[in-house]
Copies of this chain bind each other. A is one copy, B any other.
């Protein structure tokens, strides 16, 4: 059987060099958006609408939606809560549609519109995402969301964890240098991921804003089996075959 192709994109700034037509794109933003989205669905959220602009989020609030919105770590005054996964509790989100403010995320979803499917990947759902990919038999791009177009260590560690599982399955090959880099970084990190990402810039940013309480949780494997998927600009739980 011909092997499937695996690539890693280390920043949205480089994605124009990738062809995602017909490919599974796994968006990875470990701290914290993708982890928050996984948590919301595990706690029963119906759907998530990614929203680029603050004013757009405000309009959703006026229409009665739940709104998760932060800027620079501060929950916006009109929002229901900020972007920490811990805010997406069952009593708040079950059955609800949530407008989630994320400029970077919205841009990434626009970039990946031609994909076969764009899904949300994290440590929190790593096994179910991997299993689903292995059944789908499509080429894969692991898309690290990064931070303001810069390289992010924790997203690359997670991409390496996915790469490791996909390559070890024997079904994927790669000629992508970023896959090799992510695998080597994963190999450095795997025995102590929490300790490894102490040096990550996002870890420092979250500490300085008092938002780092969720890091252990975000590095937890298989908290949920749900795979969030993008459908017509919204994110919903994937219905697996």
Contact of A13 among B17, B175, B185, B201 (CB under 8 A): B17
**Contact of A223 with B by CB under 8 A:** no
For the complex formed by this chain, how many copies does it contain in all?
Answer: 2
Q: How far is the CA of A194 from the CA of B151 in the complex (A)?
A: 26
> Are A185 and B181 closer than 8 Å at their CB atoms?
yes
**Contact of A3 with B by CB under 8 A:** no
> Are B13 and A151 closer than 8 Å at their CB atoms?
no
Q: How many residues of A contact B (CB 8 A)?
A: 28
**Contact of A59 with B by CB under 8 A:** no
Residues from chain B with a CB closer than 8 A to the CB of A10 are 10-11, 151
Q: Mark A124-155, 1 if CB is under 8 A from B, else 0.
A: 00000000000000000000000011111100
Known: A11-B11, A14-B14, A17-B148. A180 touches B204 (CB 8 A): no
Q: How far is the CA of A71 from the CA of B202 in the complex (A)?
A: 41
Residues from chain B with a CB closer than 8 A to the CB of A180 are 153, 199-200
Contact of A185 among B151, B152, B184 (CB under 8 A): B184
> Are A184 and B188 closer than 8 Å at their CB atoms?
yes
Residues from chain B with a CB closer than 8 A to the CB of A156 are 177, 181
Residues from chain B with a CB closer than 8 A to the CB of A177 are 150-153, 156, 199-202
**Contact of A111 with B by CB under 8 A:** no
Residues from chain B with a CB closer than 8 A to the CB of A153 are 177, 180-181
**Contact of A176 with B by CB under 8 A:** yes
Offer 13 A-B interface pairs, CB within 8 angstroms, sorted by A. Answer: A10-B10, A10-B11, A14-B149, A14-B150, A150-B178, A151-B181, A152-B177, A153-B177, A153-B181, A177-B200, A180-B200, A181-B181, A181-B185
